[in-house]
Homo-oligomer: A and B are copies of this chain.
């Protein structure tokens, strides 16, 4: 029996792996940070033997509530990721599995590797409608890539989408991938119409260092990028600094920041009702966006979500608030679940990469509903 995590986004610490009935593991902190919640490891062991695995010390993890009603993701072939029933006792997450193949992967959510990210960016740039730009380098020396989809023109609205500031929220990049490929589909009427009215600026992975390192929430030096939008620095948060500089140069008429939420079993948005410049125009845009999304997919809902900020009390270090305020534009944090959409539960796969991709495609419908009124 052997447990390994020496691969892209691998993260686990073995406490005890002497016998299949009693495997105890823990999750490593993000580098230079106290956050931990993302795990990804491979178990190599005997087939047709029952294994009991416990991940411990979770009371101190970033989101203890994230483990309630959460079921671990597993895959034998790294393509099909299914759920394994799991139990949480307040500190330990336990699950049992009888192996069908000797090698099995477990992860907090379906991993989206840096190799796949590079494939996405490399493939996307081949399309006529897409221009690949380099915003700068991360602290580990990775490239921060921006995909510009659609010709740029003064009259066109500028729609920005960022994903995976929090690297363990891999659903954000799956969603971005679905959205990107729909936009690039030249026979998709909706995308063709959108690209006449808007140019898309998409950063499919804001935090490639944290992603490759197997972090939950921070970059290579432990910075939570989504608290850096007031004063990003070259030293701690170059990813935000370069993005904000590009936004200033280009302009922003709408912004979506794609995330995953550890606790809530729903897709939802968090708006910018707490920013100083929030007004009726922004509210109406928000309402129209949500209404269209409610029409197009039962995966979205607007009942469950974060408590709304009081007027003027928004945290302006957070991307969507900062950008909404800076550009007086529609700005949303879009949250997908790690668990499932409880309005439409799927006991086999839970919330999945495919559902993220479909949601990305459907988000374009909601963007279309607001694009004419964005400026």
Interface on A for B, CB 8 Å cutoff?
A: 2, 4, 6-8, 42, 44, 75-79, 101-103, 105, 113-116, 118-119, 121-123, 125-126, 131-134, 137, 140-143, 145, 187-190, 192-193, 292, 295-299, 341, 344, 346, 349, 352, 354-355, 358, 365, 368-369
CA distance A105 to B115 in the complex (A): 13
Given contacts A4-B143, A113-B115, A369-B295, contact A102 B133 (CB under 8 A): yes
CA distance A133 to B358 in the complex (A): 31
Q: How far is the CB of A10 from chain B (nearest CB, A)?
A: 9
Q: How far is the CB of A136 from chain B (nearest CB, A)?
A: 8
CA distance A102 to B124 in the complex (A): 12
Is the Cβ of A141 less than 8 Å from the Cβ of B297? Answer: no
Is the Cβ of B295 less than 8 Å from the Cβ of A6? Answer: no
CA distance A335 to B364 in the complex (A): 25
Q: Which residues of chain B are near A365, meaning CB under 8 Å?
A: 295-297
Q: Which residues of chain B are near A79, meaning CB under 8 Å?
A: 119, 122-123
Q: Which residues of chain B are near A76, meaning CB under 8 Å?
A: 122, 125-126
Q: How far is the CB of A361 from chain B (nearest CB, A)?
A: 10
Known: A103-B121, A103-B145. 13 other contacts (CB 8 A): A2-B137, A4-B137, A4-B142, A7-B115, A76-B125, A102-B131, A103-B132, A187-B352, A187-B354, A189-B298, A190-B298, A192-B346, A295-B296
Q: How far is the CB of A121 from chain B (nearest CB, A)?
A: 7
A101 interface neighbour in B7, B44, B78, B125, Cβ under 8 Å? B125
Copies of this protein in the assembly total: 4
Given contacts A298-B190, A358-B189, contact A122 B78 (CB under 8 A): yes
Closest 9 CB pairs of A and B: A6-B141, A187-B354, A115-B115, A193-B298, A189-B299, A44-B134, A77-B122, A78-B122, A101-B125
Q: How far is the CB of A104 from chain B (nearest CB, A)?
A: 9
Q: Which residues of chain B are near A122, meaning CB under 8 Å?
A: 75-79, 103, 105
CA distance A346 to B186 in the complex (A): 9
Q: Which residues of chain B are near A368, meaning CB under 8 Å?
A: 298
Interchain Cβ contacts under 8 Å between A and B, 18 examples: A4-B142, A4-B143, A7-B115, A8-B115, A76-B126, A101-B126, A102-B134, A103-B125, A103-B134, A105-B122, A187-B352, A187-B358, A189-B297, A189-B298, A292-B295, A295-B369, A296-B296, A297-B365
CA distance A327 to B341 in the complex (A): 36
Q: How far is the CB of A248 from chain B (nearest CB, A)?
A: 21
Given contacts A122-B78, A137-B4, A192-B346, contact A143 B44 (CB under 8 A): yes
Q: Which residues of chain B are near A299, meaning CB under 8 Å?
A: 189-190
Q: How far is the CB of A286 from chain B (nearest CB, A)?
A: 16
CA distance A113 to B79 in the complex (A): 17
CA distance A352 to B346 in the complex (A): 34
